[in-house]
Amino acid sequence: MKYKRISAFILCFAMLTSTGCSSGSKNSSSSGISDYSNISDSNTYDSSTTDTSDSYEKYDLDDFSFELSKEFSLDKNDEDDDNNGKSYYDFTSKDLKGLHICTPSFEHCTAEVCVQEMLESINSRKDDSAKDVETEKFDVSGLNAAAIHMTNVENNAESGESYLYITVEGSELLADITGYKPEDREKVKALFREIASTVKYTGTNQRSTEQQFYECDLFSLNCGPEWYIDGYEDDGDGGEVSLKLSYYYAQDIEHHRAPSLSIEARHHDEMDNAQKAADRNYEWKKNRKVGSECERSTEVIFGYNAETVSYVQKILYLNQRLKHYYFNENGYLYTITVALNMHDEEGSKSELKDILDTVVMKKISDEEIEKRKNEYEEWRNPSYTFHGASFNLISEFELEGEIDDSSNVVDFSGSGSDLRISLKEDESDLEKAAESDKEILSGVGYENITIKEVTAGNNTFKCISGVNKGEQRIADDYLIIANGKLWEFKFGFDKDAYGYDKYIAEKFLESLDLSNAK
C-alpha cells in the first residue's frame, strides 16, 4: 500500500494561447467595476517595431521573454537549477527603482480580470488609502495585457503603485513598481507599454478543446475544456483520493476563483465519520467566525444521505458560497465541496450541476474494503520506541528530528497540536511532579487547572489539564513513574480541535507499553 501522493487520474487536458485586446486608459476613481468598453484604441503596439538595438537587453522567464532598456540594471534574479528556468528579475534605473518582473502562480484568468479584481478590492475598502486609480489594456499580438496604476496615501505621504499583467491561457507575467513618486506615473505607464510591446510567449502548453474524462477506482466524471484540474492526489493503490476542478481561463469576474468543485475520499475511523466530521467543521467555522451565514443540515447527493455545512466566505472582495457534503462509503469518508461565485450564483449552480450529473460513484467489495482498512491502519499508526518505551502515534503527528536515546526528550507535531515526551531520571515523586507541572502551566497563562488520575491501557497516569484562553490552547500533561523514573507525556491542543485530538491522545496512551522502559 502506497500512501505517497502520486497521480493516477486520466488527464485529457492541456493549455492553449489566447488573443489580444484593445488598449488605452480609464480613470476609475469612482466606485464600481472598471468599464473597459469605452477604452480607446489610441495606444496599440506592434512587437515587430520594437527597438532591438544594442540599447536593449533580452531576458527569458518561464514561458515568456521580454526586452528592457539597458538603462535598467539587473539587481537580482532567481534561477531554477532543475530546468534552468527563471521565475523573476529585479531591476533599477536612475529614474525608476524597484521594477520587479516575474511569472507568479497563475491566476487562471485574463489580464483584464486580474486588474478588475484589484480594482474591486480597492473600491471595497472603507478608507481612502488609494486614489487616482487608472487602468489600461494593450493590444499585444497573441497575448492579453492590462495594467493598473494608483497613488497610495499612508501617514499623509503619497507614493505610486503600478502593476502590469500579461497572460496567455496557462501562464502569466507580472511586472510591478511600487513606492515611486506620484509625479513619475507617466514614466511608469510608458515603461509598461514598452515592456508589453516586447513580451513574447515561449511556452509550449496547449489546451484540448475536447470533452474531458477523469477516473479513479472510486469515482469518475466528465467536464468540458473550460475546466482544469486545480489539484489532485491519488496514490493509485487504495489510498486517499482528492480532485479539484476550477474554471480554466476566466474571461469575466463571474468565473474567477469560483465556481469550483472538489471531491475527496479518505479513510476514516470512529471519530471521523460523516456526522462528526461535519459537526467539527461547523463548530470550527462558527467559533473562528470563518465566513458568515454558517448552516448545518443534511441533503442527498449521488444517492447518499450527506451531512452538510454551508457558509459564505469572502476572498479579497469576492464572496463565495461554499457547501461541504460528507458521507461514508467503501470504508472512506467522502467530502464534496461546491463553491459558487456570488457574482452569478445561479449560473455557478447550473455549470457545476452539469458536472455533478456526470459523476459515477463506484463500489468496491467487502473484502477489498477490509484489506484497505488494515493496510491503512498499519500506515496511519506507526510504531516508535524511546528508551525502551514503545507506542503508536497517528501519522498526523510527525516526528521532529530523530529519536535518539542519548537525549531524554523527543517531540512530535501535528496540525495545531503537539506532543513532547520527556524522561526525568532524577525525579520519582509523582505527587510533587504533578504540583510542579500545575505551577508551570499557571505561570504561562493556563487557568482552571485540574489534577486527576486517568487509566489508559495498562497504565494509570496523573493528568494535569488547563486552558489558555488567550492562546485558545488546552494542555493535557500525563505523568507516570516507570522503572523508578518519571515519564512526562505533554500534549498541547488547539481548543477548537480538542475533541478529535483528544481521541488521538487516548489512542496513544492505550498503545503505550512501559514494561521495558529504561
192 and 334 part of one domain: no
44 and 69 part of one domain: yes
349 and 393 part of one domain: no
Within a domain: residue 12?
no
Pick from 202-211, 217-226, 479-488: least confident = 202-211
262 and 398 part of one domain: no
Cα torsion angle, 451, 452, 455, 458, sign: positive
137 and 243 part of one domain: no
Q: What angle do CA 459, 461, 464 make, to 5 degrees?
A: 160
End residue of a domain, out of 160, 175, 201: 201
Within a domain: residue 448?
yes
Domain that holds residue 48: 24-201
For 47, the grid coordinates are: 512587437
Contact partners, residue 116, CB within 8 Å, separation at least 6: 33, 34, 253
Q: How many domains does the chain have?
A: 3
Q: Please write the tens of the pLDDT for every residue from 129-147.
A: 899 999 998 888 889 999 9
* One-letter amino acid for residue 491 of the chain: F
363 and 247 part of one domain: yes
| Mean pLDDT value across residues 188-194 | 95
Long-range Cβ pairs for the range 44-48 (8 Å, 24+): 44/138, 44/139, 45/138, 45/139, 45/140, 45/193, 45/196, 45/197, 46/141, 46/197, 47/140, 47/141, 47/197, 47/198, 47/199, 47/200
Nearest to 92 by CA among 103, 101, 82: 101
194 and 253 part of one domain: no
pLDDT at 32 over 60: no
Within a domain: residue 15?
no
364 and 396 part of one domain: no
411 and 388 part of one domain: yes
140 and 167 part of one domain: yes
Q: Please write the tens of the pLDDT for every residue from 352-401.
A: 999 999 999 999 999 999 998 888 888 888 899 999 999 999 877 889 98
* One-letter amino acid for residue 84 of the chain: N
